[in-house]
């Protein structure tokens, strides 16, 4: 094969992997809905089409195991569509097993792993469901036509099988011959009958000539005009695609429609038709993530330039007042400021994905855990359309899964216990997401038994995580934070879900990586709410500028909880370390002039400010000399020469050209923990 053709096949493989993953992303949700909406025929058809599309494209790409298992799942769905069987929990369980296998097989295909997997037990379940009268028969490993009832010997030859079996197909020249085009058209006609449930595909004789485009049956809503050649599906084997022109017309995208290819299909379209088709099919494109990263970097540089221009303009206006030329410069600077802000926002939106990408995994998790624990749990999803940076959403997946499992295991009681407490036997778990300024707030709410702070204290004491003296000064909020300590668990025995004391510790660690905050609020007997607050993006952030002695520093605004004046009446000393009480919460105080080794001659705290910062469940008060306001900042690495400087996460450039440091909240908190360990163990 030529190098060009190899590239074409690689593009086809990449397209197959992406589109199959997209189908699986929605298929999981559809299967969960199917269990509760058994009479929803549109939903059933949607699930059928998903499996059918995966089967068709995987067959085209040569992934036999994907083809085989999806075919058997499709058999069951075809019987459901014909009302030969009805949706029940057993069928949904089996289809979800197929879904799990498809995810596994797709990962293997992506990694180039050709080793076969053993899904024979799942195949037995599928065969038993689709052939209850012959449950003891051996499961067929072939791929018969969907809904085929007669034995193989009684079936007419399949057009698709004949086409695939012809070794000379597609090798008679640079283009398909008229006979080959006729065979392709017949194959598509056969596939259409299968997709619309019109009977056995194998029993359909080959038509004498390709069907006109206007007569070709489809299983998706008809587009405004016939699809362009690039969208026409081809189910011929790889050898038939030797000409580059043929390979280009055989994208996996095309399996969504089923129209035979034409020699000059473009001639049959009017200019108006082509325009409508273009509008209908070119609303989205796929872009390499690296290109988006480059755009984000350039956007950051543009923000720095904008800030510098605004600073210079302001200084000139102050120096030379009432000058017409400078007023024009100021107007131009304001326009560039506006355009830069809009451009940056647009670029950031290209990286944004809805949180439904991870929310959609929750129904399956809750369903499986409900069955495992014998609980009845209703899941409510809110704010699924809320968007955040794709890098953050990938890191948020594991913490969210841990917290859902924790709520199902520890939070919501069993039906008997709930009934005794006067609650409905069905528990409720709510996942809620919403924007709040430049942050996204995710709430995990359950109506379970709540958290007993005294019980947590005793458990932590038993495990040697805290001392009796620390218990005496702990508030309920302090006690709730104990669940995030490494090795802490309230489970009486180790199960597949909990008991090892690592789940919530993982949650805290991941939230810290994302520069986020997590809070716990609970009411005994009424339920628990976990609140996660995250920045929308980690590239260009809002920063709070503060002055410590003569130096200016930036604090990520996402980590700032509040800012207060120093109240000497609320500052105490615990174990020779300064703490401050704010609304019944005690925070360790860190004097930034001492940490940064620029001690002030005046050691008093009068006329200073305390910036309360938070990371995950921890809180810390930073004493600074002056607040300089909020600023949009671009995080810059310190580079290999300077390397890592403790307490600093990077640098940024101000509008006047000065380089200032961005404080690393995580390391400051760790530093406070090592200096005042006894205080931190209470937080």
- Judge whether 258 and 191 are in contact, CB under 8 Å: yes
pLDDT above 50 for 47 = yes
Q: Are residues 324 and 420 in the same domain?
A: no
Q: In 148-247, which ranges are E strands?
A: none
Domain co-membership, 76 together with 130: yes
77: helix, strand or coil = helix
What are the pLDDT digits (tens) for 269-307?
344 544 444 444 456 677 777 888 788 888 888 888 888
DSSP characters over 428-490:
EEEEEEEEETTEEEEEEEE-SS---HHHHHHHHHHTTSS-HHHHHT--HHHHHGGGGSTT---
Query: Looking at the structure, do residues 504 and 625 belong to the same domain, yes or no?
Result: no
Task: Tell me whether residue 176 is in a domain.
Answer: no
Within a domain: 661:
yes
Tell me the backbone φ, ψ of residue 68, rounded to 5 degrees: -65, -50
Task: Tell me the C-alpha distance between 446 and 429, whole Å.
Answer: 5
| Average pLDDT of the chain to the nearest whole number | 75
Q: Is residue 278 part of a domain?
A: no
Task: Write the CATH number for 389.
Answer: 3.30.565.10
Q: By residue range, what is the domain housing residue 344? A: 289-348
Q: Are residues 619 and 531 in the same domain?
A: no
Q: Do 478 and 577 lie in a common domain?
A: no
CB 104 within 8 A of CB 49: no
Model confidence at 658: pLDDT above 80 = yes
Q: What is the mean pLDDT of residues 423-445?
A: 90
Is there a contact between 566 and 623 (Cβ–Cβ < 8 Å)? yes
Assess whether 396 and 480 both reside in one domain: yes
Among the ranges 48-52, 645-649, 666-670, which has the highest mean pLDDT value? Answer: 48-52
Report how far residue 470's alpha carbon sits from residue 681's, in angstroms, rounded to the nearest whole number. Answer: 8
Report if residue 497 sits inside a domain. Answer: yes
Q: Would you say residue 140 has pLDDT above 70?
A: no
Among 480, 510, 535, the domain boundary falls at 535
The separation between CA 484 and the C-alpha centre of its own chain, rounded to angstroms, equals: 24
3-state secondary structure of 310: helix
pLDDT band at 358 (very low <50, low <70, confident <90, very high): confident
Give the highest mean pLDDT range of 142-156, 192-206, 370-384, 638-652. Answer: 370-384
192-206, 335-349, 497-511, 658-672: segment of lowest average pLDDT:
192-206
Residue 408 DSSP label: I
**Structural domain total, the chain:** 4
**In-domain check, residue 425:** yes
**What pLDDT is stored for residue 502 in this prediction?**
53
Alpha helices in 201-323 (DSSP H): 244-248, 271-281, 289-319
Q: Is residue 155 part of a domain?
A: no
Shortest CA distance to 515 belongs to which of 627, 661, 613, 656?
A: 613
Q: Is the pLDDT of residue 132 over 70?
A: yes
Residue 388 has pLDDT above 60, yes or no: yes
224-193-156 Cα angle (round to 5)? 150
- Provide the CATH number for the domain around residue 100: 1.20.120.160
Phi, psi values for residue 467, rounded to 5°: -110, 165
pLDDT at 222: 40
Are both 435 and 484 inside the same structural domain? Answer: yes
Partners of 651 in the β-ladder: 636, 661
234 compared with 312, residue with greater pLDDT: 312
Kindly state whether residue 436 falls inside one of the protein's structural domains.
yes
| Confidence at 257, pLDDT banded by 50, 70, 90 | very low
Instruction: Answer whether residue 220 is part of any domain.
Output: no
Q: Are residues 359 and 338 in the same domain?
A: no
Residues 337 and 358 in one domain: no
DSSP string over 267-297: GGS-HHHHHHHHHHH-S-----HHHHHHHHH
Does 494 lie in the same domain as 373? yes
Q: Which DSSP category does 240 fall into?
A: G
296: CATH = 1.10.287
The mean pLDDT of 384-392, rounded to a whole number, is 85
| pLDDT tens-digit readout, 396-433 | 888 888 889 889 988 999 999 999 989 999 999 999 99
**How does pLDDT run across 196-244, given as a tens digit for each residue?**
554 444 333 433 333 333 333 334 344 344 333 333 333 333 333 333 3
Residue 674 banded pLDDT, cuts 50, 70, 90: low
The yes-or-no verdict on residue 668 having pLDDT over 60 is: yes
- Determine the average pLDDT of the residues in 589-598: 84
Specify whether 526 is located in the same domain as 603.
no
Domain final residue, candidates 120, 140, 160: 140
- Is residue 85 located within the same domain as residue 125? yes
Q: Which pTM does this prediction carry?
A: 0.59
pLDDT at 175: 58
Question: Is pLDDT larger for residue 459 or for residue 438?
Answer: 459
**Where is average pLDDT lowest: 49-53, 236-240, 481-485, 650-654?**
236-240
Tell me which of 83, 114, 140 is where a domain ends. 140
pLDDT digits (tens, 9 = 90+) for 497-543: 554 445 688 888 888 888 888 889 999 989 999 999 888 776 677 88
What pLDDT score does 448 carry? 92
Q: Which domain CATH number covers 672?
A: 2.40.50.180
State the Cα–Cα distance between residues 221 and 243, nearest whole angstrom: 31
């Amino acid at each position: 094969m030529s190098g060009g053709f190899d590239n074409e096949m690689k593009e086809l493989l990449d397209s197959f992997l992406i589109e199959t993953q997209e189908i699986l992303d929605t298929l999981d949700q559809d299967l969960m809905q199917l269990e509760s909406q058994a009479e929803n025929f549109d939903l059933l058809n949607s699930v059928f089409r998903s499996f059918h599309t995966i089967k068709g494209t995987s067959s085209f790409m040569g992934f036999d195991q994907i083809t085989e298992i999806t075919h058997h799942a499709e058999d069951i769905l075809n019987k459901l569509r014909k009302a030969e069987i009805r949706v029940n929990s057993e069928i949904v369980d089996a289809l979800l097993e197929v879904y799990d296998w498809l995810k596994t097989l797709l990962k293997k295909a992506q990694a180039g792993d050709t080793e076969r997997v053993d899904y024979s037990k799942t195949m037995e379940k599928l065969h038993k469901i689709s052939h209850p009268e012959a449950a003891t028969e051996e499961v067929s490993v072939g791929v018969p036509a969907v809904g085929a009832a007669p034995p193989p010997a009684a079936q007419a030859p399949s057009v698709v099988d004949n086409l695939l079996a012809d070794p000379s197909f597609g090798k008679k020249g640079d283009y398909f011959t008229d006979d080959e085009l006729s065979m392709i058209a017949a194959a598509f006609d056969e596939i259409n009958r299968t997709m619309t449930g019109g009977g056995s595909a194998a029993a359909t004789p080959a038509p004498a000539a390709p069907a006109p485009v206007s007569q070709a049956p489809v299983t998706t809503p008809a587009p405004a005009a016939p699809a362009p050649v690039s969208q026409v599906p081809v189910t011929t084997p790889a050898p038939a695609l030797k000409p580059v022109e043929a390979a280009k017309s055989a994208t996996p995208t095309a399996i969504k429609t089923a129209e035979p290819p034409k020699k000059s299909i473009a001639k049959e379209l009017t200019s108006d038709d082509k325009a409508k088709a273009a509008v209908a099919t070119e609303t989205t494109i796929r872009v390499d993530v690296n290109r988006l990263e480059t755009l984000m970097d350039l956007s950051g540089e543009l923000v720095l330039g904008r800030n510098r221009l605004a600073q210079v303009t302001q200084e000139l206006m102050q120096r030379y007042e009432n000058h017409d030329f400078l007023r024009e410069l100021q107007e131009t600077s304001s326009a560039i400021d506006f355009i830069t802000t809009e451009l940056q926002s647009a670029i950031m939106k290209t990286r944004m994905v809805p949180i439904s990408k991870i929310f959609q995994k929750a129904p399956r998790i809750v369903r499986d855990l409900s069955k495992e624990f014998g609980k009845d749990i209703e899941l409510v999803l809110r704010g699924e359309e809320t968007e955040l940076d794709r890098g953050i959403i990938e890191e948020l997946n594991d913490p969210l899964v841990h917290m859902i499992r924790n709520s199902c295991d520890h939070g919501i009681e069993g039906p008997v216990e709930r009934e005794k407490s006067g609650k409905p036997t069905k528990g409720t778990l709510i996942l809620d997401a919403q924007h709040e300024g430049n942050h996204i707030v995710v709430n995990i709410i359950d109506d379970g038994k709540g958290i007993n702070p005294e019980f947590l204290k005793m458990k932590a004491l038993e495990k040697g995580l805290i001392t009796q003296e620390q218990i005496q000064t702990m508030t309920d909020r302090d006690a709730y934070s104990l669940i995030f300590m490494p090795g802490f668990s309230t489970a009486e025995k180790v199960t597949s879900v909990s008991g090892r004391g690592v789940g919530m510790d993982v949650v805290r660690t991941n939230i810290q990586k994302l520069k986020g905050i997590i809070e716990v609020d609970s009411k005994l007997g009424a339920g628990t709410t976990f609140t996660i607050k995250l920045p929308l993006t980690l590239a260009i952030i809002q920063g709070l500028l503060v002055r410590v002695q003569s130096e200016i520093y930036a604090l990520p605004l996402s980590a700032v909880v509040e800012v207060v004046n120093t109240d000497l009446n609320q500052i105490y000393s615990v174990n020779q370390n300064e703490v401050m009480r704010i609304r019944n919460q005690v925070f360790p105080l860190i004097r930034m002039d001492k940490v940064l080794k620029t001690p002030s001659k005046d050691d008093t705290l009068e006329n200073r400010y305390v910036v309360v910062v938070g990371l995950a469940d921890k809180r810390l008060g930073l004493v600074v000399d002056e607040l300089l306001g909020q600023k949009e900042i671009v995080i810059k690495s310190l580079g290999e020469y300077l390397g890592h400087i403790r307490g600093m996460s990077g640098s940024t450039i101000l509008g006047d050209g000065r380089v200032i440091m961005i404080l690393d909240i995580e390391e400051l908190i760790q530093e406070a923990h090592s200096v005042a360990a006894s205080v931190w163990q209470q937080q």
